[in-house]
Amino acid sequence: MAVTCRTATLFFLVIVALLISTPALAQVPRAERPTYALGEKWIRNDGVFDLIRVEKDGYVFAAGGGREVHLSKDLMLSRISRRGELEWDLHPTPKLTWPLEVGKWGVQQAIVTAPTWPMASMSHRSMISIPARIAWTISEFRKVETPAGSFDAFKITQSLDLRSAVTSSFSSAGTMTLWYAPDVRQLVKAEGPVGAFDVVAFDRSPAIAPPLATKGIPQGSTTASSSTTSPKPAPKETALIPSPPAAGSLVRPPGSSEMAPTEPAVLTPPTIIFRYPQNEARLKDEASVIAALVSSARGVAKVVVELNGTEIHRQVEREPAKSLTLASPVKLTEGTNSIVIIVEDSGGIVNRETRTVVLESVRTAAVSPAPPSLAARPRNLWAVVVGVGRYDDSTIPRLRYTVPDAEAIYQTLVNVAGLKREHVMLLTDKTERKPTLRNIRWALGTFLSRSASKDDTVLIFFAGHGAPEIDPRGIERDGFAKYLIPSDAEADDLYSSALPMDELETIFSRIEAERIVAFLDTCYSGAAGGRTFGSRKTRAGQVDDEFIERLARSKGRAIITASRSTEVSLELPELGHGVFTHYLIEGLRGAGDGNKDGIVTLQELYEYVEAQVSRRSRAVGGNQHPMMRGQLEGSLPLVRVKR
């Protein structure tokens, strides 16, 4: 009996030991479905994709060249478009089962819409819809290598079978593989006929980003590579430009152990860690991205990116951060390209890193169709509409009708002018993306530059405060710098918190469209009342219009302001709008069709608005005259009037 008990006990202990050590009891990898907010970025080797819309059924990410990628809430690819034209569509989108676990699978019927000739240009392309069968499976969970690092990721494989119209049988059309990494909450890699990419960096704090030394690259190294072989080190230039000791700073007298006020004894230049592309990389796509992590103990104040000697990106930090992720879209030229990142910290110390990459020629006359004529190319309208009514700074007067102005302009552009909703970016106090300085810069300098092509037209509308401030640079003839005032501006620090009108010139240069028209329902006189105010840094003086002349000097640019520089832009309760915007809307709805030909042109619209605003302002005791400056060839049709 004793032997039997000992045997049973031993057997029990062995079973327990096996159960404890067996992989079957190890935690099974699983991932919950992520959610994303507007403004998030996916920095991939084919571009920087911003989340511009969160829809009921999914997310819309946009990158340069007007590219849009639609993902379902399950992160399944549903649609690809470029400049508003469909390139690929899958409906309904397969439903991935969350949480993700290895072994899950599913099959679904769908309709695939794609071009009959993928190499054709958009205007010559015909589309076809074909019944399809989509089968997906989560086959494994393992490490996957990307230029941004090494990640534990789920492998999601989708096979696409198309049904023949003749035999009704299915035949394989390819396989798409996606890799989802739970630690970083996004797809980090894709391979397949619809598209391929690798994540190259993350637009978030390094504290939650994956470690930099994920591939045997020492921390602080200036090269991050997705291969196991290290590229040749790129030339490195370091320029130290220390600031002179400030009064009251700590200085160590020679031979003294006591500290007196001065700068730190050691001035370390900012650190630049290139994440993508690798030095001497050979790329096949002209649309790419530059990604790097820059840091400084003193705070990163400015980052500049140059391509082949030309500045393509400038980032000035209002509050210098210890570190930040740089992500800049780039359009490479065939052959050798030189990329330089220049970083300046808050103390004026500068560092720079250089990379050389080669764009290989992948186009040949045999496969490239002849470009269509200019007349055959589709022309699109794109717009950014901004209305600022409430300001974080309580010393800046609130405006009652600027938000209704922006909302009415948005509805007019969509419902009357016929713009696609996804072509119009609306920023107001009520929208999810607020009209802050950062968001206004993003909408004008990023959304429009990535969306509008050469043959398109861009419309910009701003309703809110404008303000002058003493110009210490001495550039302006009247001695005043002028600003558009975002919702987070500080009245006594417009230089760092508001949008300088001079910066519009830089923004315009980033937009490829040949025609840009800006409507500004604001004013800059600094007088009491209306859509302007004067900060304590503004002295009495006469504000002139020279800055408008300068901004509109380039061909294809037109700026229409609500008033002259010395006047006040009025709001009237009986109109529920600013006077300028009220008649701008009426003109776009048909009242501006001066010659009654059924089309409202820009010149007709301006003549109507100028006459009506001048008349109405006089009737209420005001003095407001809209002004247009610019160089546009011929008439610019804006709206076809519905009779």
Alpha-carbon distance 557 to 555, whole Å? 6
pLDDT reading at 310 higher than 80: yes
Report the SS3 class of residue 610: helix
577-636 tens-digit pLDDT: 999 999 999 999 999 988 888 899 998 899 999 999 999 999 998 888 888 887 666 668
Q: Which CATH class is domain 379-640?
A: alpha beta
Note whether 59 and 53 are within 8 A (CB): yes
Instruction: Please report, as a single letter, which amino acid is at residue 115.
Output: P
- What is the band of 643 on the pLDDT scale with cuts at 50, 70, 90? low
Side-chain half-sphere exposure of 2, counting CA atoms within 13 A? 0
The fold of the 219-241+268-362 domain, in CATH, is Immunoglobulin-like (2.60.40)
pLDDT (0 to 100) of residue 640: 85
Alpha-carbon distance 432 to 95, whole Å? 27
Q: List for the chain the helix, strand, coil content (%; round to 5).
A: 20, 40, 45
Alpha-carbon distance 507 to 449, whole Å? 8
The tokens describing 417, both together, are: 């002018």
Q: Which of these ranges, 54-63, 73-82, 398-407, 547-556, has the smallest mean pLDDT?
A: 547-556
Q: Which residue has the higher pLDDT, 256 or 563?
A: 563
Residues 6+ apart with CB under 8 A from 523: 466, 530, 531, 532, 561, 562, 563, 565, 567, 568, 569
pLDDT reading at 125 higher than 70: no
SS (H, E, C) 112-145: EEEECCCCCCHHHCCEEEEEEEEEEEEEEEEEEE
As a whole-number percent, the residues of the chain with pLDDT over 90 amount to 31
pLDDT (0 to 100) of residue 67: 81
Average pLDDT in the 478-490 region? 85
SS (H, E, C) 143-182: EEEECCEEEEEEEEEEEEEEECCCCCCEEEEEEEEEEEEC
Alpha-carbon distance 292 to 274, whole Å? 4
Residues 6+ apart with CB under 8 A from 472: none
- What is the band of 243 on the pLDDT scale with cuts at 50, 70, 90? very low
The residue extents of the domains of the chain are 41-198, 219-241+268-362, 379-640
56-107 tens-digit pLDDT: 889 988 887 678 899 999 999 988 987 777 888 888 888 888 999 998 888 8
Q: Which residue has the higher pLDDT, 600 or 120?
A: 600
pLDDT (0 to 100) of residue 377: 34
Note whether 88 and 114 are within 8 A (CB): yes
Side-chain half-sphere exposure of 358, counting CA atoms within 13 A? 7
Helix (H) or strand (E) holding 414: helix 402-415
Cα 465 to Cα 146, 195, 427, distances in angstroms: 46, 45, 15
Q: Which of these ranges, 179-193, 249-263, 514-528, has the smallest mean pLDDT?
A: 249-263
The tokens describing 570, both together, are: 């009025």
Average pLDDT in the 165-183 region? 78
Alpha-carbon distance 142 to 140, whole Å? 6
Note whether 419 and 437 are within 8 A (CB): no
Average pLDDT in the 481-510 region? 88
Residues 6+ apart with CB under 8 A from 322: 295, 296, 297, 299, 300
pLDDT reading at 148 higher than 60: yes
Residues 6+ apart with CB under 8 A from 285: 46, 362
Q: Which CATH class is domain 41-198?
A: mainly beta
Average pLDDT in the 543-559 region? 66
pLDDT (0 to 100) of residue 478: 56
Q: Which residue has the higher pLDDT, 38 or 115?
A: 38
The tokens describing 381, both together, are: 């309208």
Q: What are phi and psi of 494, to 5 degrees?
A: -65, -30
Note whether 123 and 372 are within 8 A (CB): yes
Please provide the average confidence, as pLDDT, over all residues in the chain.
Answer: 77
Report the SS3 class of residue 256: coil
The tokens describing 543, both together, are: 């504000």
pLDDT (0 to 100) of residue 272: 93
Residues 6+ apart with CB under 8 A from 135: 105, 106, 107, 158, 159, 161
Average pLDDT in the 4-19 region? 51
As a whole-number percent, the residues of the chain with pLDDT over 70 amount to 73
Task: Classify residue 10 as exposed, middle or buried by CB count within 10 Å of its CB (0-12, 13-18, 19+).
Answer: exposed
**Phi/psi class of residue 396: alpha, beta or left (left: φ > 0; alpha: ψ in -120 to 50)?**
beta
Note whether 289 and 327 are within 8 A (CB): yes
Cα 331 to Cα 119, 250, 339, distances in angstroms: 20, 47, 11
Start-to-end Cα distance in the chain: 105
359-377 tens-digit pLDDT: 987 443 333 333 333 233 3
- What is the band of 429 on the pLDDT scale with cuts at 50, 70, 90? very high
Identical fold at 41-198 and 219-241+268-362? no
SS (H, E, C) 451-512: HCCCCCEEEEEEECCEEEEECCCCCCCCCEEEEECCCCCCCCCHHHHCEECCHHHHHHHHCC
pLDDT reading at 133 higher than 80: yes
pLDDT (0 to 100) of residue 261: 46
pLDDT (0 to 100) of residue 13: 52
Any idea how long the chain is?
643
Residues 6+ apart with CB under 8 A from 10: none
* Neighbour count for residue 211 (Cβ, 10 Å): 9
